[in-house]
Amino acid sequence: MLTRLRHWAIGLAALVLVLSPRRRALWQAMRAFVRDLPKALEAPLPQALATLTPTFPDLVVPNTTLRLLADAAALFERRSPFGLCLRRSLVRYHFLRRVGIPLTLNFGARFKSGQPDQEVTGHAWVTLNGQPYFEEGENYQGFTVMFQYPGGSA
């Protein structure tokens, strides 16, 4: 229930932000980015991530605004074959790097029950200087990082 309320809050806040024509164009770019992720991730992961990594900062938008729009763009793309955490991490990574924040993508795994068994779950999140970047603790704690980009394997 709390997650659903958080998602509604993100969606409503983003809708208010896109009333500005400049932010609306950014919102549309983010939505297109999320829709294009399945095609972009057909390549081997390091190659795909290199393609999704901006070469230099080219946006001037407040970090909080950008993060909120990125989270909403990922949230609204319900038809994606990818989970919300992967969509959100990739949108945050790409667009926040475009404002000059050197985020790192993390891909991790853990046993669902917390005990070694057959059920493993995966997760993706971003970090800044080795620290989770605006992530809830349950979204990264207990996961073993399997791959980081940039940086290769953990």
Number of domains in the chain: 1
Position 7 scores a pLDDT of: 57
User: Is residue 83 situated within a structural domain?
Assistant: yes
pTM of the model: 0.85
User: Is residue 67 situated within a structural domain?
Assistant: yes
User: Is residue 133 situated within a structural domain?
Assistant: yes
Domain around 62 = 2-149
Strand order in the sheet with 104-111: 131-132, 120-128, 104-111, 144-149
Position 47 scores a pLDDT of: 96
Q: Per-residue pLDDT tens for 83-100?
A: 999 999 999 999 999 999
From 4-8, 76-80, 135-139, the region with the lowest mean pLDDT? 4-8
User: Is residue 16 situated within a structural domain?
Assistant: yes
Q: Are 139 and 95 in contact (CB under 8 A)?
A: no
User: Is residue 154 situated within a structural domain?
Assistant: no
User: Is residue 110 situated within a structural domain?
Assistant: yes
* pLDDT band, residue 153 (cuts 50/70/90): low
- pLDDT, mean over the chain: 86
Token pair listed for 39: 């095609």
User: Is residue 93 situated within a structural domain?
Assistant: yes
Token pair listed for 110: 């853990």
Q: Which of 66, 140, 59 is nearest to 104 (CA)?
A: 140
From 91-100, 102-111, 116-125, the region with the lowest mean pLDDT? 116-125
Identity of residue 143? F
% residues pLDDT > 70 (the chain): 82
Q: Per-residue pLDDT tens for 13-66?
A: 666 566 677 888 898 999 999 999 999 999 999 999 999 999 999 999 999 989
Task: Give, for 111, the enclosing helix (H) or strand (E).
Answer: strand 104-111
Kindly state the average pLDDT of the residues 102-122.
Answer: 81
User: Is residue 75 situated within a structural domain?
Assistant: yes
